[in-house]
A and B are shown apart, each in its own frame.
Chain A
Amino acid sequence: MNIEIANLHFTYPTGVQALRGVSLTIGSGEQVAIVGQNGAGKTTLVKHLNGLLQPTSGSVRIGDWETREHAVAKLARRVGYVFQNPDEQLFSKNVATEVAFGPRNLGFSDEQIQALIQDALVMTELSNKTETNPYDLSPTWRKMVALASVIAMDTPIVIFDEPTTGQDAANIARIANVIKTLRERGKTVITITHDIDFCAENFERVLAMSQGQVLLDGPANEVLGQEEVLATTYVDPPQLTRLGKKLGFKETVRNQEEFLAGLKKKDA
């Protein structure tokens, strides 16, 4: 299911022009990271994908659905959205009920619902916490509950807004694992992130935004290697990319394997 965004403009009621002509296509099963400074329009853009915002002009299509012609509740069948702050989306008395809420509302059968819940709980490592009140969990685990409740809706497209903010290394690894599993299942994953190392290690396509427009869009290595252009939207290249550059590597590297390969090549 493709996402087609054509000449999208959006102006907030305050007069702020948050998006100024964004056009792009995201193919079925792609993994895309969106980077850029605060206020670049990243969250405004993804809120158009599930209809939370409607274009001031231009259009957004999710498969054959034009977002302005469908209610948010209906778009929720195709696009799942994990908020930056889990506390903005959690409200149930225990984890199991919270995770069940989404699939129940989408009208799955009881059997399907049970299977979806189990699957989401296993993926997020929450199986032993089903009876716990989400607010008795640490913020790290609350984040996983937020992920699980969206994953359980089994949408073809999943959006994560800043999934690693405030998370420790162990939980960042868990979140990377969830994204990997979704990729293997052919889901489209779109992630907004300031964590450029996380972006480099988990995404094949990177979109850099600045002042309501797409500044760069392409394969991760191509985008992350453009230090000067990224600097205009206050993005530093990943640590290993910077290190490779400083050591005079010819190719852009973005993870451990690529860096070590570059190092061997240089020595040879």
Chain B
Amino acid sequence: MAVVKLQNVTYKYPLTDTTALQNINLQVNEGEFVAIVGPNGAGKSTLCYTIAGFVPHFFKGELTGTVEVAGNESSKSNLHDWVLNVGLAFQNPFNQISGAKYTVYEEIAFGLENIGLPRDEMKERVGDVMTLTGISDLADRSPYSLSGGQQQRVALASILVMQPKVLVLDEPTSQMDPIGTREVFGVIRTMAEKGMTVILVEHKVEWIANFADRVIALYDGQILLEGKPQEVLTSDVLMDKGFGISRYTSVARKAKGLGLWTRDSLPVTLDEAVEGFKIG
């Protein structure tokens, strides 16, 4: 069942002439893990804002078409109700931190305070989510004193604690080292396995190929391609348009030209590459 449904969505930011999103039609099923790829300026963050209701409730501009989450239409709902269904972790965690709280612990509890959750339940949820995201030791720190990677974990935790139906993540590991990336992808995967719907914007294509059910390639505000991760991520079209490509894909494409890769399909992950090259 579709939990997110965009129909003919076109959007222009205020005071601009160019369309940030153009005629987007997109359905995401409940429990599905969808990854969005695209070069900078393709409209990935705008699409996140649109699904999360920031467009049109915070960013005004010109929105046409319909955006539905869990059967409600965003232009007819208010942001307060909307955030109960959709949580968005911003690309730049600094923009997400409320500024109203002195400690990480309070920051994470902030959303729950606003919906008036009983104190005991609030404590339990905050504790759980801090353990899950590996930030229990940061509880008493100021959110502003943290590194970029730590702020990204706090941003993710403050969204997860709300237990939204749909989790929208805009490059959640962009400021992390490989171990942080691995841990955070682990958390995201756990949430997906628990049945949360995940929409993830990400440049690290090897992770996407391992995790996502479906990949959407966005370009110039439009959906250029969509389908299974391996199909989309190895498409020739992405090469010329500045999309991130796995090194395994590009080297196999070269090798294919030299007769050193014999399979029809190209690899995205290490395992696929090893398998294909072993055969010759």
Question: Which residues of the other chain, A, contact B179 by a CB distance below 8 angstroms?
Answer: 37, 234
Nearest A residue to B206 via CB reads A239
| Segment with Cβ contacts to B, from A1-9, A65-73, A257-265 | A257-265
**B250 and A169: CB pair below 8 A?**
no
Q: How far is the CA of A139 from the CA of B91 in the complex (A)?
A: 11
Question: Which residues of the other chain, B, contact A267 by a CB distance below 8 angstroms?
Answer: 260, 280
Nearest B residue to A143 via CB reads B40
**A38 and B39: CB pair below 8 A?**
no
**B243 and A38: CB pair below 8 A?**
no
Q: How far is the CA of A135 from the CA of B248 in the complex (A)?
A: 36
Question: Which residues of the other chain, B, contact A84 by a CB distance below 8 angstroms?
Answer: 148
Report if A154 contacts B (CB, 8 A). no
Report if B176 contacts A (CB, 8 A). yes
Q: Tell me which residues from 186 to 206 in chain B have a Cβ below 8 Å from any Cβ of chain A.
A: 203, 206
| Segment with Cβ contacts to A, from B79-87, B117-125, B160-168, B269-277 | B269-277
User: Among B91, B243, B247, B278, which residue has the most Cβ atoms of chain A within 10 A?
Assistant: B247
**B246 and A239: CB pair below 8 A?**
yes
Nearest B residue to A200 via CB reads B247
Known contacts: A169-B245, A256-B250. The answer to whether A247 contacts B206 by CB under 8 A is no
Known contacts: A240-B247, A243-B270, A259-B251. The answer to whether A38 contacts B260 by CB under 8 A is no
Q: How far is the CA of A20 from the CA of B273 in the complex (A)?
A: 40
**B40 and A140: CB pair below 8 A?**
yes
Known contacts: A168-B39, A234-B178, A260-B251. The answer to whether A242 contacts B270 by CB under 8 A is yes
Nearest B residue to A256 via CB reads B251
Q: Tell me which residues from 166 to 210 in chain A have a Cβ below 8 Å from any Cβ of chain B.
A: 166-171, 194, 196-197
Q: How far is the CA of A67 from the CA of B259 in the complex (A)?
A: 55
Question: Which residues of the other chain, B, contact A197 by a CB distance below 8 angstroms?
Answer: 247
Q: Tell me which residues from 252 to 276 in chain B have a Cβ below 8 Å from any Cβ of chain A.
A: 254-255, 258, 260, 270, 273-274
**B260 and A170: CB pair below 8 A?**
no
Known contacts: A170-B242, A238-B247, A264-B260. The answer to whether A139 contacts B40 by CB under 8 A is yes
Which of B203, B255, B274 is within 8 Å of A263, CB to CB? B255
Report if A82 contacts B (CB, 8 A). no
Question: Which residues of the other chain, A, contact B251 by a CB distance below 8 angstroms?
Answer: 240, 243, 256, 259-260
Interface residues of B (CB under 8 A from A): 39-41, 91, 147-149, 171, 174-180, 203, 206, 242-248, 250-251, 254-255, 258, 260, 270, 273-274, 277-278, 280
User: Please, could you name 16 A-B residue pairs with CB atoms under 8 Å apart, sorted by A?
Assistant: A38-B147, A38-B177, A39-B147, A84-B148, A138-B40, A165-B175, A167-B40, A168-B242, A169-B243, A197-B247, A238-B247, A240-B248, A243-B248, A247-B278, A263-B255, A267-B260
